[in-house]
Structure 1
Amino acid sequence: MVSSTYDLGMSSSGHLLTRFLGKEVELVYHGMDGKAGERVKGTLEVAEPGNIVVKAEGKYIVNPNATIEAPTNAGIVTIPQLSAEVESKSGGPTDLAVTYMTGGLSWNADYTATLTPESENMNLECWATVTNKTGTDFPDAQISFVAGSPNRAVRVSRGESLAYEYRSAAKAKSDQSGFSFGQSSDYGLKAQAMGELYAYPYKSTATIQQDQMNRVRMMGSETVQVMRVYSVALPGISRDYVEFNSNPDHRISATMGINFANLEKSGLGKPMPAGAIRVYEPDKEGAVRYIGAATLGDTPKDARVSLTLTDVFDVYARARQVSAKKIDRRRTSREVEVKLSNEKSRPVELRLVQNFGNVWKVVSESSKSQKLNAWSNQWKVTIPAGGEAKLRYTVVLGG
């Protein structure tokens, strides 16, 4: 390519008229019956909003009550158009492949998960939603959905970016049937490494029409092993303060989430693009109910996923400080009791997380704990169906 010119086209009829300033136009007057009558040729002198002046027959006609007709052979481009000057070793007609970047094309991934009642499986599907705001159609396009966050040297709008590779032969057949992804029985898209990004090429071609949002299934599995996780974040305590509610009957509702792994044996095992995940579960009558949503980040193969979906009102905790003792100027001992309640018809393992601050040591506990990090601890306690359980521990804070 030697040079290129991009014409932005016309944004309005007023914009179009300004391109005919100083050029010949024709005024067409219409009668009461709507039929064209007198025609007057002249030169367009002024073309502003609400202010049109045409010079004709030795006089100026200001804001004529007529239709202005302009020639179409004036070399004026009304829609965005790219012109290029290319150098070729040989002359004659040839097919031209054009590759370019454009704004206005975007895509985002979202997931639909349906839990299987009384089992550890779920049906998971990933869908890509394509939005075309470019102002033009892309017939017979080859599409690759690219996941990742490449740096850009220009300002772009927020949201997921879409890399489309669009190659159209000069004699490509136009498909006016709308956005079409063919009839292949295998809708799963295979991820391909592309530098530090991942591309999901679509197997067939598709027509992407402007001002449309369309969806295509990227991947899915009906046998994803999933674990329900019930958790309670206990109020924080430290050497100098306690955040427990003064009312010992104050309930701290549990949250319910799910854990699963992006494994090939579960029907996944490929990089999963970031997106919202909405989770459903059938009720006793078989009606599918929405139970919560979360955001899934870009997830590599074999990685574990933990998502918090919803609050649970029939599994809860009530925490209180039983005693506190100042050991010395820098250390305080606190004894805590947590009553756990489960109103469900099945046992629940409840995960309890306690934040202690910087320096702490659990010196006694009714259930074995696990240190999560430098400032927090967790316990896992099984609560019987329709029953209660207790956790009691003593911690020395400060040092």
Structure 2
Amino acid sequence: SIMLAGIPGNLRARPALVWLIKNEGPKKQKIEVTYLASNCSWKADYVLKVARDNSRADLSGWVTLDNKTGKTFENASLKLVAGKLHQVLPQPAVSDLAREYRAAPMAKAQMKEESFFEYHLYSLPRKVTIKNNQTKQISLLQAQGIKVKRVLIAKNNSPGFYYSMYSGPSRKSHPSIYIKFKNSKEDGLGIPLPKGIVRAYQESSDGSTLFIGEDRIEHTPKNEEVNLKVGEAFDITIERTQTSFEKLGSRSVENGWEIKVRNAKDKPDSVILEEFIPGDWKFVSNNPGFKKISSNWVRTIVEVPPEGEKVLTYKVRIKY
């Protein structure tokens, strides 16, 4: 081993990047250095508080900064680019190092949003300090009273059309609950939304705010629809039964279906039914009428009375 009395001036104990710059002019020059740093990331999270009548909601968005660069950034200007940027090098793995978590206080001004290249840029109108190995939350947006709609949708994409009684006499399921809204200024929003998780809440009868489900959104431009799948409806039951099956040839079948929609609530409700029908097909009977919405999907809206039931039947002929 070699023992030195001290570290020489041109020797660094830790890896470092050094710029050697020559100024051939008579005046001082301002140098701007741009480089990519790994292990510094951000994500967006949202809280959607839905009114009791499911017609309005308040949306708050937060940016979570995660600094594992090994460096503290003091009074830094913060600009976040939202979009799918192509990078040749793979993203570094997320470390499980212990870190401090601190939520920053609500900013007086929300982040400023603007278009940038083919992405969107979010700038914080104040300086921010984030320590090494620290996670910090900063307010992204606040919107009150946006128009929302609660929708129940039951989708059936099971491949049972080619088989006779393929899964027993019937199958029961519950429709998915969607909270939908348009990201428009007319509906109370109109702000490009970075991708992230939206957590939905609603007040109970005693005023307690309770979690009702969550979903992930992709980057959402203004004037686009947002559809949040937050759970399944407890009191609505869908029962599908294959009522007939006949093989018409080597590549042709005909089968019938019965769909019962039951409502255990003390008030009426509506359910959107969507059925996937494979191959080259046509209805033999259809009561009440499903409408074709694409080459292999049909849809109908069922109004179900309180503590009541609606029954739908159809028969379809398929070539494959």
CA distance in 1, matches of 2:8, 2:220: 55
The CA deviation string for residues 298-335 of structure 1, in whole angstroms up to 9 with x for no partner, is 11111112221112221111111223344555443322
1:394 to 307, 315, 319: 315
Matched, 1:186 2:109: yes
Are the aligned partners of 1:277 and 1:293 in contact in 2 as well (CA < 8 Å)?
yes
CA distance in 1, matches of 2:166, 2:201: 34
1:246 to 168, 175, 181: 168
SS in 2 for 1:203: coil
The CA deviation string for residues 153-176 of structure 1, in whole angstroms up to 9 with x for no partner, is 3232268xxxxxxxxxxxxxxxxx
CA distance in 2, matches of 1:290, 1:182: 23
Matched, 1:100 2:21: no
Matched, 1:126 2:61: yes
Are the aligned partners of 1:321 and 1:336 in contact in 2 as well (CA < 8 Å)?
yes
CA distance in 1, matches of 2:252, 2:106: 70
SS in 2 for 1:270: coil
Taking a change above 3 Å as real, the CA distance of residues 354 and 179 of structure 1, as seen in their structure-2 partners, is closer
CA distance in 2, matches of 1:89, 1:110: 50
With normalisation by structure 1, the TM-score equals 0.71
CA distance in 2, matches of 1:117, 1:282: 7
Are the aligned partners of 1:335 and 1:395 in contact in 2 as well (CA < 8 Å)?
yes
CA distance in 1, matches of 2:243, 2:17: 77
The CA deviation string for residues 164-220 of structure 1, in whole angstroms up to 9 with x for no partner, is xxxxxxxxxxxxxx9897875222x23222212211011111111111101111123
Q: Point out which structure has higher relative CO (alpha carbons under 8 A, 6+ apart).
A: 2
> Matched residues, percent identical?
24
SS in 2 for 1:267: coil
SS in 2 for 1:83: coil
Taking a change above 3 Å as real, the CA distance of residues 114 and 84 of structure 1, as seen in their structure-2 partners, is same
Taking a change above 3 Å as real, the CA distance of residues 236 and 83 of structure 1, as seen in their structure-2 partners, is closer
Across the two proteins, how many residue pairs are aligned to each other?
A: 314
1:320 to 241, 245, 249: 241
The CA deviation string for residues 219-262 of structure 1, in whole angstroms up to 9 with x for no partner, is 231222111121222363565225664244x4212211111111
2:119 to 166, 178, 197: 197
CA distance in 2, matches of 1:301, 1:330: 47
Taking a change above 3 Å as real, the CA distance of residues 337 and 239 of structure 1, as seen in their structure-2 partners, is closer
Taking a change above 3 Å as real, the CA distance of residues 322 and 96 of structure 1, as seen in their structure-2 partners, is same
Matched, 1:338 2:259: yes
- Within a 5 Å distance, the mapping from 1:189-338 to structure 2 comes to 189-234=111-156, 236=158, 240-241=162-163, 245-248=167-170, 250-327=171-248, 330-338=251-259
The 10-residue stretch of structure 1 (205-214 or 98-107) with the greater mean CA deviation from structure 2: 98-107
Larger Rg: 1
2:90 to 155, 159, 179: 155
Report how far residue 74 of structure 1 moved: 5.0
Partner of 2:21: 86
Are the aligned partners of 1:238 and 1:356 in contact in 2 as well (CA < 8 Å)?
no
Are the aligned partners of 1:180 and 1:206 in contact in 2 as well (CA < 8 Å)?
no
Taking a change above 3 Å as real, the CA distance of residues 75 and 239 of structure 1, as seen in their structure-2 partners, is closer
Are the aligned partners of 2:80 and 2:123 in contact in 1 as well (CA < 8 Å)?
yes
Report how far residue 97 of structure 1 moved: 3.8
| CA RMSD, Structure 1 to Structure 2 (Å) | 2.7
CA distance in 1, matches of 2:272, 2:157: 14
CA distance in 1, matches of 2:16, 2:240: 69
Taking a change above 3 Å as real, the CA distance of residues 345 and 118 of structure 1, as seen in their structure-2 partners, is farther
CA distance in 2, matches of 1:150, 1:346: 49
Unaligned runs of 5+ in 1: 1-17, 25-70, 160-177
SS in 2 for 1:365: strand
1:363 to 281, 284, 288: 284
Q: Counterpart amino acid of 1:394?
A: K
CA distance in 1, matches of 2:105, 2:157: 55
Q: Counterpart amino acid of 1:305?
A: V
